[in-house]
Amino acid sequence: MALISKAQTVWQGTLQEGSGRVSLDTSGAGTFDLAWASRAESHQGKTNPEELIAAAHSACYSMALSNILAGNGTPPEEINTGADVTFDLEKGGIAGIHLVVVGKVPGLSSSEFEELAEKAKKECPVSKALKAVDITLSASLG
Task: Return phi, psi of residue 44, to 5°.
Answer: 45, 35
How confident is the model at residue 43, as a pLDDT? 76
Structural domains of the chain ordered from first start: 7-40 (no CATH), 49-141 (3.30.300.20)
Q: What is the pLDDT along the chain (142 residues), one digit of tens a residue?
A: 899 999 999 999 999 999 999 999 999 999 999 999 998 888 778 999 999 999 999 999 999 999 999 999 999 999 999 999 999 999 999 999 999 999 999 999 999 999 999 999 999 999 999 999 999 999 999 9
